[in-house]
Amino acid sequence: MDQTIQRNSKSQISFTNIKVVHKYDSLQTPTIYIITATYPRMVQLAELTRLCHTFLHVKNLHWIVVEDVNVPSDDLGIFLRKCGVPFTLLSERTPPDQVLPPGQPRWRYPRGVVQRNRGLQWLRDNLKLRLNKGVVYIADDDNTYSLRLFDEIRTTKRVSTWPVALAGRLKWEGCVTKPDHSDVIDRMQTIFKPWREFPIDMAGFAVNLDLILSHPDAKFYADPKFFGMLETNFLKNLGLKNFTELEPKADGCTKASLISFLLDSLLILLNNMLLGNPNTFSEVLAFYSHFNKFPVTVTTNYAYILVWHTQAKDPDIISLDKLKTSIQNTMLPCDI
């Protein structure tokens, strides 16, 4: 098996496996560049194994893995070489002032911001505008991806989108197209800050490589004042104005539960009423308009979902000292 391994610096390892099924077999087929931010923890390699086994089935895919450390860990490098997917391993340590303090809510400093930006910088440093054809997708290591997703996003012209399951405290979150125009996004199914120009999940969009390369300053911001605006600010920096400019994938964003949409829409409206959203009344009218256009015989089918928000938590491993103390404390006294 021919392999090319290049250590460009202490913070980067590049690897291309040439003679495998997912090799770069066609210059006409756009390459999918996956950026995955990761950090050391017990389930890290378990999560990445799931992604590896998915990506092995996708042709023309390059996996950019960015670890939240000063120098890439040896275990991760060994894992990626054995995985067999063409990859680049980078490292970018989260600055101390962006590390979430103990006891603080996770939203104050979202994970993976500087790591994703490092991945974007690698693309700009190594690829050429209009010469390298491809699509860029941010794939978190704790999500689950259908193989159909990659067929969908490979044809992205600017920025494409689709529903994401188990996101935003809903059964699914994302785009909803007009009943008579499946290529036009009518609204976004979301509860969290629905007034955002792009009320979208990080796992719910892909960007054409040329758009990334032609906007060298577009990046993600970790500042708490931009809480919940990572996706919106990034897409605005790419020159887009709002979600109506996105390209709906997944058969016009229909690869999700319609019944779920109807029920969750009521929850969204109630949430907006509590927040004092001035557009609530018009949204109620729009909801009933949508409801009347859909037959009630439609049933839920999650088999067509392209992305799931999933997460494996570190197991509660007890140390030998704690185990010994626990056993001693639970032993019944006995007379000798």
Whether 85 and 52 have beta carbons less than 8 Å apart is answered as yes
Asked if residue 11 belongs to a domain, the reply is no
For residue 189, give the DSSP letter: E
Is 247 one of the catalytic residues?
Answer: no
Number of domains in the chain: 2
The residue to which tokens 């040329």 are assigned: 210
Structure pTM? 0.77
Question: Which residues partner with 174 through β-bridges?
Answer: 189
Asked if residue 36 belongs to a domain, the reply is yes
Distance (Å, whole) CA 188 – CA 306: 17
Asked if residue 119 belongs to a domain, the reply is yes
What pLDDT is attached to residue 151?
93
Q: What is the pLDDT tens value at each position of the chain, 336 positions in all?
A: 323 334 444 455 655 443 333 444 555 789 999 999 999 999 999 999 999 999 999 999 999 999 999 998 999 999 999 999 999 999 999 998 888 777 777 666 788 999 999 999 999 999 999 899 999 999 999 888 989 999 999 999 999 999 888 777 777 888 988 888 889 999 998 888 889 999 999 999 999 999 999 999 999 987 777 788 999 999 999 999 999 999 999 888 876 533 334 444 555 555 555 555 544 445 444 544 444 444 333 333 455 677 776 766 666 655 556 655 655 555 545 544
Same domain, 145 and 71: yes
Asked if residue 228 belongs to a domain, the reply is yes
Asked if residue 2 belongs to a domain, the reply is no
142 is in an annotated binding site: yes
Distance (Å, whole) CA 273 – CA 277: 6
Asked if residue 182 belongs to a domain, the reply is yes
Same domain, 296 and 195: no
Catalytic option among 47, 67, 152, 231: 231
Full DSSP string of 275-302: TT-TTHHHHHHHHHHHHHHS-TT----G
Range of the domain at 209: 31-252
